[in-house]
Amino acid sequence: MIQMILCGRGGQGIVFLTRLLGDIATRKGLDVISSETHGMAVRGGSINSHLKIGSFSSPLVRWGHADYLLSMDMLETGNNRQFLKEGGVVFENSPVASESGLFRVDAARIARSIGRIQLENVVLLGFSAFLGNLEVSVEDIRARLSQDPRESVRNYNIKALDAGVKVGSAMKTTGGSTG
């Protein structure tokens, strides 16, 4: 059982990631419950989603109980860090070097190199799924993304997922920071 907060700015694909992870976990037969807070998200405002995989009865993660924080924005990491439990792990989209308990990947730069900045969320997902224990594996995600009927979308998403995994793999191998 895990509890997770996904956060970022409106338009960065937080809702997509939440629904994707929830859908995959449900297909694996796991219980899933989630909730989204939108606010001013349509104007680039703060957005976060609460996702619980396991036998939970309420959708919101209480402060100090999240196992993981997946953040698309450094400022949103600060705004949502209170949800993280002691020993919880942050996966963040940022060009800054990683530090203890905070794994960073420059997902925006990688997504731009692939040709679509909109893929930064999938890069972060590949990175975090490789390094974390999200109850959903990289192969689970790949299989689900491969079901998109639009060939171009499918190919870009797989490329972004693999790019995130590659950075996570390099980080795991070197034990250090990669961008």
Nearest to 15 by CA among 37, 31, 33, 32: 37
Is the model's pLDDT at 109 over the cut of 80?
Answer: yes
Nearest to 111 by CA among 1, 6, 13, 2: 13
pLDDT of the residue at 179: 44
> What pTM, to 2 d.p., does this model score?
0.93
Residue range 45-94, pLDDT digits in tens = 889 999 999 999 899 999 999 999 999 999 999 999 999 999 999 999 99
In the chain, DSSP assigns E strands to 2-9, 32-37, 46-53, 66-71, 84-93, 102-105
Amino acid identity at 84: L
- Distance, in Å, from the CA atom of 128 to the CA atom of 34, rounded to the nearest integer, reads 19
